Amino acid sequence: MLLVRDWMTEHLVTLPPEVSVAEALTLCRKRRIRHIPILEEGRLVGIVSDRDLRDASPALGDPERARTLQEIRVADVMSREVITVDPQDSIENAAQQMYELKIESLPVVSEGAVAGAGSTVAEEEVLGIVTSSDVMRALVTLAGLPEPGCRIEVSVPNREGILAEVAGKIRELEVDIVSVLSDPDRRSGQRTMVFQLATADPSSAMQSLKRAGYEVSWVSS
């Protein structure tokens, strides 16, 4: 299982709530980041995105723009209800939270003392941040896409034991399975499975599955 701790950004950029929007915008541009956790005395009190900062900025050409950006505090524009994730949580769960809540980052916060390399992290300490880009990298790895080989798509009845059945037929041909993605369609009663195979030529596996009555296609890269 891929864990959040293995994909989060540990060298965290943070700000206190009293800094100006101008300073926060400069930091986003300089560090090329889009989300900044806001800490007060080490405690997470909010999070601000580059979009929050831009929305609070007067239009370009406004003579009061520079002064206004210095006057507005990050505390005035940050989100105070911050959704967090535990470092031991799965990256799949983090992806689901981002999708359902329509957010692009999750600060990583320990829910208890966490043993590290020769040290212990205090309870409720902010350990890092995981973003939508981190989740995408992890899911691409989980799907086996960086591995050499090819992918085939198999349409099968959505019934118990079908994954083991299809995988068994592939293994009989001594073809290694790198990863499997499965998408059930409850309305049609079918399931689509995508196998990443460690072979450049899946024709033998495809022919074997077709003879068994499955609908098979080669997924182009």
pTM, full prediction:
0.70
- When pLDDT is cut at 50, 70 and 90, the band that residue 133 belongs to is very high
Same-domain check for residues 167 and 83: no
Q: Is the pLDDT of residue 184 over 70?
A: yes
Same-domain check for residues 16 and 115: yes
- When pLDDT is cut at 50, 70 and 90, the band that residue 117 belongs to is very low
Same-domain check for residues 104 and 200: no
| Mean pLDDT across 176-202 | 87
**At a CB cut-off of 8 Å and minimum separation 6, what does 140 contact?**
146
DSSP string, 62-128: -TTHHHHHHHSBHHHHSBSS---B-TTSBHHHHHHHHHHHT-SEEEEE-SS-EE-SSSEEPTT-EEE
Same-domain check for residues 82 and 126: yes
Q: Give residue 166's domain range.
A: 150-219
Length of the chain: 221
Per-residue pLDDT tens digits for 168-182: 999 898 899 988 888
Per-residue pLDDT tens digits for 39-86: 999 899 999 999 999 998 888 788 888 899 999 999 999 999 999 999
